[in-house]
Chain A
Amino acid sequence: MDTNVITIEHLKKSFGKNQVLKDINLNIVKGENLVVCGKSGSGKSVLIKCLVGLIEPDGGKVVLLGKDIDGLDSTALNELRKKVGFLFQSAALYDSMNVRENLSFPLRDLKSKSPEDIEALVVEALANVGLEDVAEKMPSELSGGQRKRIGLARTLILKPEIILYDEPTTGLDPITSKEISQLILDIQKKYNTTSIIITHDVECMRITSNRMIIIKDGVSVAEGTFDELSASDDEWVRSFFQ
Chain B
Amino acid sequence: MPDEMKSTATDKVTARIPAVYTNALTGFFEAATSGSLFTIRFFKEIVKPRYEFSEFLKQSYLIGYKSFPLVAITGFIMGLVLTIQSRPTLVQFGAESWLPAMVAISIIREIGPVITALIFAGKVGSGIGAELASMKVTEQIDAMEVSGNNPYKYLVVTRVMAATLMLPVLVTIADAIALYGAYVGVNLQGNVSFHLFFLQVFEKLEFLDVFPALIKTFFFGFSVGIIGCYKGYNATKGTEGVGESANSAVVFASLAVFIIDMVAVQITSLFI
Q: Which of A94-135 contact B (CB under 8 A)?
A: 94-95, 105-106, 108-109
B50 touches A86 (CB 8 A): no
Question: At the interface, yes or no: A205 with Cβ under 8 Å from chain B?
Answer: no
Interface stretch (choices A26-34, A56-64, A74-82): A74-82
A82 touches B140 (CB 8 A): no
Give Cα A66 to B169, complex, Å. 52
B139 touches A78 (CB 8 A): no
A109 touches B149 (CB 8 A): yes
Give Cα A131 to B134, complex, Å. 26
Q: Which of B125-160 contact A (CB under 8 A)?
A: 134-135, 138-140, 142-150
Give Cα A6 to B136, complex, Å. 27
A126 CB to nearest B CB, Å: 17
A99 CB to nearest B CB, Å: 14
Give Cα A158 to B148, complex, Å. 10
- For chain B, the bracket of interface size reads 10 to 19
Instruction: Choose one: B50, B140, B142, B145; the contact of A95 (CB below 8 Å).
Output: B140
A106 touches B148 (CB 8 A): yes
Give Cα A23 to B83, complex, Å. 72
A88 touches B143 (CB 8 A): yes
Question: At the interface, yes or no: A229 with Cβ under 8 Å from chain B?
Answer: no
Judged by DSSP, the binding face of A is loop
Instruction: Choose one: A49, A52, A94; the contact of B140 (CB below 8 Å).
Output: A94
Residues on B with beta carbons closer than 8 Å to the beta carbon of A49: 142
Given the contacts A92-B140, A94-B140, A54 and B146 also touching, CB distance less than 8 Å: yes
Residue of A nearest to B145 (CB): A54
Question: At the interface, yes or no: A84 with Cβ under 8 Å from chain B?
Answer: yes
Residue of B nearest to A155 (CB): B147
Residue of B nearest to A106 (CB): B147
A56 CB to nearest B CB, Å: 13
Give Cα A92 to B138, complex, Å. 6
- For chain A, the bracket of interface size reads 20 to 34
Residues on B with beta carbons closer than 8 Å to the beta carbon of A52: 146
Question: At the interface, yes or no: A90 with Cβ under 8 Å from chain B?
Answer: yes
Question: At the interface, yes or no: A47 with Cβ under 8 Å from chain B?
Answer: no
Question: At the interface, yes or no: A198 with Cβ under 8 Å from chain B?
Answer: no
A81 touches B146 (CB 8 A): yes
A78 touches B148 (CB 8 A): yes
Give Cα A93 to B148, complex, Å. 15
Given the contacts A106-B149, A108-B149, A109-B149, A90 and B138 also touching, CB distance less than 8 Å: yes
Residues on B with beta carbons closer than 8 Å to the beta carbon of A93: 140
1/0 per residue A25-55: CB within 8 Å of B?
A: 0000000000000000000000001001010
Given the contacts A81-B148, A105-B149, A106-B149, A86 and B135 also touching, CB distance less than 8 Å: no
Give Cα A94 to B251, complex, Å. 28
Residues on B with beta carbons closer than 8 Å to the beta carbon of A105: 144, 147, 149
Given the contacts A95-B134, A109-B50, A88 and B142 also touching, CB distance less than 8 Å: yes
Give Cα A90 to B147, complex, Å. 16
B134 touches A78 (CB 8 A): no
Residues on A with beta carbons closer than 8 Å to the beta carbon of B144: 94, 105
Instruction: Choose one: A79, A89, A94; the contact of B148 (CB below 8 Å).
Output: A79
A81 touches B142 (CB 8 A): no
Residues on B with beta carbons closer than 8 Å to the beta carbon of A81: 145-148
Give Cα A92 to B144, complex, Å. 9
Residues on B with beta carbons closer than 8 Å to the beta carbon of A95: 134-135, 138, 140
Residues on B with beta carbons closer than 8 Å to the beta carbon of A109: 50, 148-149
B157 CB to nearest A CB, Å: 15
Give Cα A109 to B140, complex, Å. 18
13 contacts between A and B (CB under 8 A): A49-B142, A78-B150, A79-B148, A82-B147, A86-B146, A88-B143, A90-B138, A92-B138, A92-B143, A94-B135, A95-B135, A109-B149, A154-B147
Chain B interface residues (CB < 8 Å from chain A): 50, 134-135, 138-140, 142-150
Chain A interface residues (CB < 8 Å from chain B): 49, 52, 54, 78-79, 81-82, 84, 86, 88-90, 92-95, 105-106, 108-109, 154, 158
Q: A81-B145, A88-B143, A109-B149 are known; give 4 further A-B pairs, CB within 8 A.
A: A54-B146, A82-B148, A88-B139, A94-B140
Nearest 6 pairs between A and B by C-beta?
A106-B147, A92-B143, A82-B148, A92-B139, A86-B146, A81-B148
